[in-house]
């Protein structure tokens, strides 16, 4: 059963590009360009079973795998690039796990 993520909105997980933490709030960035603010923490949303296919790339971002276009890895610096061009740096402690889960995504070359 596909239930909406936020009670007051008809938002489903495949419409969410990424979630961004903002102190005790969470900003939802949608594929249609809309931004919705939730009064719950990112940790609260990360525990939601409906967001199980999202990756926690650092302390501030939870990203939908569906919208990751490519990633770059250079030494200990790993960055992911979303299909809309947005760039997010991966935390050092999460880089190995993130890179393993991104094996199906093309790796960008550094120029």
Please write the tens of the pLDDT for every residue from 24-63.
Answer: 999 999 999 999 999 899 999 999 888 998 999 999 999 9
Closest CA to 77 of 94, 89, 62, 66: 89
Contacts 24+ apart (CB under 8 A), 38-47: 38/6, 45/5, 45/19
Question: Could you tell me if 46 and 56 are in contact, meaning their C-beta atoms sit under 8 angstroms apart?
Answer: yes
What ranges do the domains of the chain cover?
13-65, 67-101
> Three-state DSSP class for 48?
coil
CA distances from 62 to 42, 83, 96, 97, 110 (A): 8, 15, 16, 14, 25
Predicted TM-score of the model (pTM)? 0.86
Give me the architecture of the 13-65 domain, per CATH: Beta Barrel (2.40)
Closest CA to 72 of 40, 110, 28: 110
57-111 residue pLDDT tens: 999 999 999 999 988 888 888 899 999 999 999 999 998 888 888 877 766 665 4
């Amino acid at each position: 059963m596909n239930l909406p993520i936020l009670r007051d909105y008809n938002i489903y997980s495949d419409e969410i590009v990424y979630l961004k933490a903002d102190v005790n709030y969470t900003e939802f960035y949608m594929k249609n360009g809309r931004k919705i603010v939730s009064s719950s923490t990112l940790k609260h949303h990360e525990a939601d079973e409906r967001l199980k296919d999202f990756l926690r790339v650092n302390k501030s971002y939870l990203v939908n795998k569906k919208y990751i276009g490519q990633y770059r890895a250079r030494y200990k610096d790993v960055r992911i690039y979303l299909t809309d061009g947005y760039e997010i740096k991966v935390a050092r402690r999460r880089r190995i796990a993130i890179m393993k889960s991104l094996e199906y995504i093309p790796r960008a070359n550094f120029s």
